[in-house]
Amino acid sequence: MADKIIKFKNVKKTYSAELKRKKTALTSLSLEVEKGEVFGIIGPNGAGKSTTLKILLGLVLHDSGEVSLNNHDPATPASHQHIGYLPESPCLYPNLSLIDHLKFAGKVARYPKKLINTRIDELLHLVNMTQAAKTAIGKYSKGMTQRAALAYALFHKPEIAILDEPMSGMDPIGRKLIIDIILEYNRMGNTVLFCSHILTDVQRICNRIGVMHKGRLATTLNSSQLSSELELEDIFLSTATK
């Protein structure tokens, strides 16, 4: 049996927003991702997908249950050296350039200076951003920002890539580039946790797919068992309307 690199066991999370009623994001999430697989998470809005990712990144603290990321507590910064995160709306500093961000990632990952520069060149070539590397992020198009954020997420060669809607807003060329990078990344033995509303991408890229609804994992499917995209859509809709 493959190692479980990500584990959620009966995890609960309720947000207590000021002056508002409490909102339960995760009622009881139990989920496991195996090492080396591409695991897709789908679900309607409000299902708890974002909260799941935020808990993995340590941005949000779960109320109860157990969470493990490569056998580390995700709230500890040490666990972050194993993950690379691409958010749904990339949040790089608009006044700084991609090179500034990549240099930062290199310093934090304790890379020697020479190696930082080598790695920067590699990544710029990988995401096709060599020309725009010194331009401020704020001047990038949506697609350029997405590629820049992916390069930043993968700088330190993390074992786990957490990608939230990585193809959102991209043109077909950009989408192909991202998909190729994800697949190559996975072929190198790394794990990918992938959230998307584009079911064709999910079915194409993922080994297994988890369908979340109302703060829990409603069902888990093997991609190989799905006969068509329509079947995945049916499962999604039937789960979402329960």
Query: Taking the complex as a whole, how short is the minimal distance between the CB of residue 226 and another protein, in angstroms?
Result: 31
> 3-class DSSP state for residue 85?
strand
* Whole-number Cα distances in Å, 213 to 28, 46, 47, 237, 240: 11, 8, 5, 11, 6
Of 101 and 147, which CB lies nearer to another protein in the complex structure? 101
Sign, Cα dihedral of 228, 185, 42, 213:
positive
Query: Taking the complex as a whole, how short is the minimal distance between the CB of residue 80 and another protein, in angstroms?
Result: 5
CB atoms within 10 A of CB 51: 23
Of 127 and 211, which CB lies nearer to another protein in the complex structure? 127
Of 39 and 152, which CB lies nearer to another protein in the complex structure? 152
Query: Taking the complex as a whole, how short is the minimal distance between the CB of residue 22 and another protein, in angstroms?
Result: 12
Of 64 and 89, which CB lies nearer to another protein in the complex structure? 89
Query: Taking the complex as a whole, how short is the minimal distance between the CB of residue 59 and another protein, in angstroms?
Result: 4
End-to-end CA distance of the chain: 32
Of 116 and 221, which CB lies nearer to another protein in the complex structure? 116
CA distance 237 to 76: 37
Q: What pairing do the DSSP bridges indicate for beta strands 23-34 and 4-15?
A: antiparallel
Of 25 and 221, which CB lies nearer to another protein in the complex structure? 25
Footprint on this chain of another protein (rule: CB under 8 A):
15, 18, 54, 57-61, 76-78, 80-81, 83-85, 87, 89, 91-93, 95-96, 100-101, 104-105, 107-110, 136, 152-153, 156
Neighbour-count burial for 181-196, b at 16+ CB within 10 Å, e otherwise:
bbeebbeeebbbbbbb
- Helix intervals (H) in the chain: 49-57, 98-108, 113-126, 142-153, 172-187, 199-205, 229-240
Query: Taking the complex as a whole, how short is the minimal distance between the CB of residue 37 and another protein, in angstroms?
Result: 21
Query: Taking the complex as a whole, how short is the minimal distance between the CB of residue 20 and another protein, in angstroms?
Result: 12
